[in-house]
Structure 1
Amino acid sequence: MPTWLTHFGSAGLPLGYSASLTRSRSVRERKHTSATSLTRLLKRYQTLSSEGNDGDSYLINTPGCAIQNFDVLSPEFTKFLKGYPKRWSDAVHVPGTSVPNYGLAPSSVECSYRKVIPRTDKEGFRNVRSTLGDPVLITAPETRIDEDGILVTCFENAGNRTPVYLNVHYFVQPQKAQEKAEDFKRQYGDRSAQPDKLSVMVVGIDSLSRFNMIRHMTETYRYAMQELEALDFRGYNKQGANTRPNTIAFLLGMTRDKFDATEFGPEDRGGFRSEFPVIWKDFANEGYVTAYGDDVAGSQFFNPHDVEYFQRGAFAVSQRHIAHFIPNMGFSYAPCQGSKMSASVIYDYALDVARSVKDVPYFGFYWTCAITHDMLMMTRVIDQPVKTLLKTLKEEGILNHTVLFLVSDHGARYGKLRNTYLGNLEVNLPAFMAIFPPWFKSLYPKPWRNLVTNTRRLVSNFDFHETLHDLASRDYILNKVKPVEANHGQSLFREVPETRTCADVSIPLHLCACENYDDVSLDDPLVEAAAKFTVDYLNEGLAKFPDCVQLHFDKVLSARASSGNNGTRPSAAKQLVTAFLLVLQTQPASATLESLVRSAGGELQVVGEVQRTNRYGNQSHCIDNDIFRQYCFCRDQLPEE
């Protein structure tokens, strides 16, 4: 069955190119908005404090792990609100895709489309690039489209070749799922007759902590918890510093070290080649249709080659032709694609896939980054789009046979909040929610009880990976225990032990939210010694990169200490062990760094990876190293003497 492009009609021409986030207000209006917006924002937070945190002192409190809780109105956060609304207008406007009257008669407009043609490499794998076919004039009211995407351009016939419409259209071609749909029907009959062959949708939002979801995705969080009975995993602790190690863990079940040490070459590691045990292969082997979408089309890391539905090619065209930034806002990735937010393009695609393959189980993985990656407060912009996605999925009955995971990789990695203790917790505790069909808890009470129990346990990316395995194989029905690699988690359909520690699931100590730290004086001699030791430690590593200058210690910005716990005290140690959690500043470029330094018997040791907490932009352009580019300041950027 083909997909059809319907030509414009009496409703007028769609509006295809305009900013999605508007800032066109007068200075006086913005000042007024700032005051009223801040008041509204604080009132909204007040309503969420009890909903998200339950007034508990701890998010989780077990023998193996206790994670401190914070009110979303914590002074550590609200002190950064001053002046925030002045930066961008309180109004976040996403124009519609059509207008009643565009001022042009259909007869005066000429439209054509160009096919999006995916590129393949020498081995036949799809890559992140795509090309465009020759223009095809649109003359009929309906035009058959066999591609996954097209670029449509319309001109006014009166000789002016400035486009009046320019937009990328995405298509979910039903024929791609036809064979799997027929196989499923032969095996199981009607879709409703096999309710436990559950579809799975993973909606990933980059740089979203649980705390920040409660703050800025107010409507989404409330709707998920109250209307969909979502499970909110309060002790979900990230595995690595950034997106790469965390997604490697939950998509492949590997640590980053193991992933980097594989037998495949660097060109293979970039794009999850067919040799890798990516989780959607488990679902594909069970007859599931698979789909993928993300709003950073240039990324080589997420580049699946073996899914049925793949919007990368069309989105790459969108990035080249209709993507746009908002001046002076600080986005790393284009937040707008024509008249839509980049995230909304992905959510619409996810919904289209779910509608198209409703008669066969599917696995969809969707990741959005552009809006949330750079600014803590911008998360509020996607609140309504995500809520609308959830609400539509419910109203159309899709959630009756779908498990939806709303997940992130980590919290905000940069900014002023990041240098506080709350910021340290936030970056290590990403959002992780699960929404099951309403019938699941009554049909499978034991797995459901375990899921609920685990919302108050320490859980990891590896647990998420094993849970997805269980959904693909339906092992949760028998509560079947499968052997997994040591320290690599377990399915959340089984109860996580109360005694679990970060070490039990390969969460590095410097990223472990279970560690409890208290403020210490910046004048403590050990604090300065630990900070200077950190700089010496980094300089030793930077010496391997001659194009990078050596760092100089400037000052300590904050210091906290933890003593005598199992994580910081070696098992054979009898002396007092203190772990210092420091935020320090180095020169050049006023780099801020977070370091965990262990002190025992007069000896100092840097634990784990030192993390950069302010942006470094192009400062490290002279090296290509995932770790040391955080600290490198290239010599060619030093001022000439």
Structure 2
Amino acid sequence: MKSKYTRCGFLKLSTLPSYFWFFLFAASIFLLTLTNLRPGMVDLVPETPRVEIGDNQKGYLIKTKGCKIPELPITNKHLESYFEFKYEGAHCNKDRPPLVASNLTSLFVLKASFGSYNISQRSSLRCCYEELMRKEPKEGQSDRQYQFRNVCNEFDDSIVVEEEFVHVKCTYNHKTIYEDFFAFVPMKTNIPRDFNREKLNVLIIGIDGISRINFHRQMKKSAGTLKNLGFQEFLGYNKIADNTYPNLIAVLTGDDEKTILETCRRSERYYDNCSFIWDNFKNNKYVTSFSEDSAWMGIFNYQKYGFKKQPTDYMWGFFDRISEDLLGNSKDMNVIQCIGAREGYKMILQYIKDFVHKMNHWKLPYFFFSWSSSLSHDYVNKPRIGDQVYSDLFQGMYDRGFFENTVVIVMSDHGIRFGSFRETYQGRIEERLPFLFVRLPLEFRERYPSATSNLRTNLRRLTTPFDLHETLEDLSFPENLKDDFLENGLRKSRSKYGLSLFGKIPSTRTCEDAGITDHWCTCLDSKPIDITEEVRNVTNFTIDYLNGLLKGYAQCAKLHLKTIRNAQLLSHAEETLKSKGHVKDFLVSFETDPGGGSFEATVRKSEGKKMELVGTVSRLNLYGKQSACITDFHLKLYCYCKTVWS
């Protein structure tokens, strides 16, 4: 086919003289050199080409001796109906714009909004701000205690703010017409000022409830931006438990939920005695920060007590919790989408930018863990509305040089856990495979070539939240990353199952090796089977198990089998069964009465016909207020209150 240049009368490339190609080559080398000298642009290109699927791996994301994970389509005609976009977006503050805004240092009045608040006389408008402060909870109180400083600082057009969190009030003709909350990042006197630029910052940006495939499906621009900026994508990142809490506890502590309960929380309501990864960085004179939106259902707050003492130097989640309580609006399902006139997910992203900007300005090394649920927690299609915002965040931070000297991790905890799509085969697999992207700065790649090479190999290995914790451990103690330390096998994992992504994860690794029960394992083949008497027995065994959990709760109704929706037989690779003998693993999906609960469970049947539950029982539909009569967040999945709240 002729090129458009030939058709339009331009010379064919083959007719150009040889000296033209010489000068073109020389000019290209010169321009490339100039490009590599531009600050902030030198490490745009990844150190290695993008991972491609080899012929021996076609049809699989992971195909090793220990694990085979199928490659599933982003979309096809069978999936289209699940992803028809119907979400309208939030209507914050009944669509009235904010009257006051902020930048890195100040508050200022938005005169363009006067009409929306019927302000005709500027002299009659009075605005002031008061400091919002966290109070340490007393024994038995949840971590949501606060107070306002009894001083309201008045301002006309603008005012410089030195406090961290503030509450703004505006009156017009002596009547309150506007309230708002704002967060700043002031320099704190109680944190170490270590200006050692040898230290690599660690920035983790988490988005709740998005599978790897759904990230590409709903947030195409963001995925493309990450690829263009040199992020590496892990294709076999498999969750280890049901919901956010146990998967992130594994990342932040290296332990599972049971271990946490048996050790640092054995006799404590609070998490102060637990060791978190940010403690490592704090001990190494990093500034630490932890932020989350929708904090009422946050990692340490939902049906829990949180912390007594603030665990990190900066903690935005407290601000989110109080401001949502006082000014939250536009609630949709579980999420309060707005604080005043602003969407929550945009506010936390603005805080990320502000924090990183300030740390770079002050040249302070930092560890920042941020988690956002308000955009993505409840609807499989809702993340799409934030795609451009996240893409702009990533690109903007890169353009400003904020990714230099910084390891950046963008991740989720699991895919969507309930709804019609989740009840499909693909929905089940996606739910177990969240996304994980990692970007290593040029400085890291030059300093630690073996760690960099190993991480690339591990993109196509079975990996878990335990592994991510070990990786963060290495970043807090960089001596672990030296070539001789890695190559000689001197690096030892501190968690039971975790292997650092900077080390060599063996191709023989199985779900059992990685601490993933068969219920959550995506390495197992499955085939549908008929609803036989054996399947009914397995299902009834599961319901008996659930009733056993609820036995001490008289307010919960006894569950009965309504219908078995489908059953699968899971098959293992031969090497994963050496310690188990002959077993059959059944994956059953069923509904119960009363309440119409939809559940999924994996039950193992051994040679002696003994049955045991593998992992936990998944809830596939929302329980809403059906479980309002109990507070145990584990049992809320299963309890149907005899008196259901309306």
| TM-score (normalised: structure 2) | 0.81
Cα pair distance change 1:437/1:623, threshold 3 Å: same
Shift of 1:89: 6.4
Residue among 589, 592, 599 paired with 2:605? 599
Partner of 2:323: 318
Cα pair distance change 1:564/1:166, threshold 3 Å: closer
What CA distance in whole angstroms lies between the structure 2 residues aligned with 1:115 and 1:430? 39
> What amino acid is the match of 2:329?
H
Identity of aligned residues (%): 29
What CA distance in whole angstroms lies between the structure 2 residues aligned with 1:616 and 1:459? 31
Give yes or no for the alignment of 1:511 onto 2:520.
Answer: yes
CA contact (8 A) 2:66 2:573 kept: no
Partner of 1:464: 468
Give yes or no for the alignment of 1:498 onto 2:507.
Answer: yes
Partner of 1:542: 550
What CA distance in whole angstroms lies between the structure 1 residues aligned with 2:645 and 2:330? 30
> What amino acid is the match of 1:312?
G
Gap runs ≥5 in structure 1: 1-49
**Superposed counterparts of 1:43-192, under 5 Å:** 56-75=58-77, 77-81=79-83, 84-86=84-86, 88=88, 98=110, 100=112, 102-103=114-115, 104=119, 106-122=122-138, 127-134=143-150, 136-139=152-155, 143-157=159-173, 159=174, 161-163=175-177, 165-176=178-189, 180-181=192-193, 184-185=194-195, 188=196, 191=197
Partner of 2:13: none
Shift of 1:620: 2.1
CA contact (8 A) 1:52 1:214 kept: no
Partner of 1:368: 372
Residue among 440, 445, 449 paired with 1:441? 445
Three-state SS of the structure 2 residue aligned to 1:277 is coil
Give yes or no for the alignment of 1:555 onto 2:556.
Answer: no
Three-state SS of the structure 2 residue aligned to 1:221 is helix
What CA distance in whole angstroms lies between the structure 2 residues aligned with 1:125 and 1:449? 48
Count of residue pairs the alignment pairs up = 564
What CA distance in whole angstroms lies between the structure 1 residues aligned with 2:645 and 2:312? 47
> What amino acid is the match of 2:567?
A
**Superposed counterparts of 1:323-362, under 5 Å:** 323-326=328-331, 330-358=332-360, 359-362=363-366
Q: Deviations over 1:429-463 (max 9, x none)?
A: 11111122244334432211111111100111111
Cα pair distance change 1:95/1:110, threshold 3 Å: closer
Give yes or no for the alignment of 1:232 onto 2:238.
Answer: no
Give yes or no for the alignment of 1:277 onto 2:286.
Answer: no
What CA distance in whole angstroms lies between the structure 2 residues aligned with 1:633 and 1:212? 31
> What amino acid is the match of 1:429?
L
Shift of 1:167: 1.6
Give yes or no for the alignment of 1:632 onto 2:639.
Answer: yes
Cα pair distance change 1:124/1:533, threshold 3 Å: closer
Shift of 1:334: 0.6
What CA distance in whole angstroms lies between the structure 2 residues aligned with 1:413 and 1:457? 24
Shift of 1:339: 2.6
> What amino acid is the match of 1:147?
E
Cα pair distance change 1:68/1:150, threshold 3 Å: same
Shift of 1:99: 6.6
Shift of 1:151: 1.1
Q: Deviations over 1:106-140 (max 9, x none)?
A: 43311111210211134899943212233524146
Partner of 2:10: none
What CA distance in whole angstroms lies between the structure 1 residues aligned with 2:349 and 2:52? 25
Shift of 1:201: 0.8
What CA distance in whole angstroms lies between the structure 2 residues aligned with 1:176 and 1:297? 27
Three-state SS of the structure 2 residue aligned to 1:399 is coil
Larger Rg: 2
Shift of 1:90: 11
CA contact (8 A) 2:87 2:382 kept: no
> What amino acid is the match of 1:503?
E
Gap runs ≥5 in structure 2: 1-49, 102-109
Runs of 4+ aligned residues of structure 1 deviating over 6 Å after TM superposition are 50-55, 89-96, 123-126
What CA distance in whole angstroms lies between the structure 1 residues aligned with 2:247 and 2:494? 17
CA contact (8 A) 1:119 1:126 kept: no
Shift of 1:218: 1.0
| TM-score (normalised: structure 1) | 0.81
> What amino acid is the match of 2:387?
D
CA contact (8 A) 2:405 2:443 kept: no
